[in-house]
Structure 1
């Protein structure tokens, strides 16, 4: 669908849960004070013939105290908006979330927007969104042909670039198989074994502090990290250390 990017939303390559890009309220750093800035789906989606519907998306955010992200819906061609969810605080890793729209089934067209609201005090890195979609009954409307994104076991580190430490989020499918995450320098030499053990199935996080296996700080530059779950390689990503 077509989106109105408002006064500041834009595409970024800083982080994505599934590909190379996501959308953020502040592509060039922190958001501004006193913002009221929306990412709006311009094409209304008709839910008139469906009995169940849900809005799905991936979110990652860093909001200062007093600032919020709001997910809102309109059923009157964007004249008025109702709040579906208010988001505050910090969510460092990508989180997949969904909101029921079933109360709006039987309506004509619905419109969705993601709105940043900030006060006059401290600002922060803001809101990142990806894989936004609306699922109806057992299919997906308008925004994306996929009901669910492909399973991504290894997420992009955050923050990236980083100066002191960074968080790597990953998912484990089976507690029976070993999980191995290794870090390599730009020349392909292994410098760090970050994770090497059996973990419970589910979501996990590991922190890299920019040191090698001997505990020595490594230099600034491009690094790669790879995940192996059992005998399968399940992810390979790039990160940048800038001291």
Structure 2
């Protein structure tokens, strides 16, 4: 199957934490050589695209542009920009990548009666931040969660992810958040606009069935699962909805 565009996960697909996946560099180089557009679609909200690009270059010898990176932070800012009209105040539990994405879209970050509360990964979160988010939602602010990831892999183990923080606010407010990142479809809907192609033209590439592949399935695009990260063949064999393609290495994939 030939695709005109690619959405690609990062951790577990292009690299494994701090470790390189050599086949991933060769895969990206083939896409670049054939002038096939691609976006790294990641649930990460702590980094700006420039940080992702720097990491890929310095640590993995993969050289791309900021425009090749689409984070859940950017997707959250785009979603609010599309829906907020003149109501552009937001309270944020999150880090620099998310804050800057919202500021660049013209949002004012405040705890004073915000129109929106956005909850993402925040490694410096405090009880007071949760209090302010909870009170704002109780007073009518729209509740946005950047993604539902329960954990993030780290050399220390599986640490709490953004979804864990979202769940705490959800539990405290008894309000359902609007979720942006994978496996929800808002991030892919925006990515499709950016890449300028039709659904039938693109494929979602990732290592995690529950996020990457389910995002593609939920959005109605083809999927390519590579067994270099989270999901195993045994796990996927028990799933009712299978990926469109399954490979052991990106070297196996023909562009």
Q: TM-score scaled to structure 2, two decimals?
A: 0.23
**Structure (1/2) with the larger strand percentage:** 1
**Structure (1/2) with the larger helix percentage:** 2
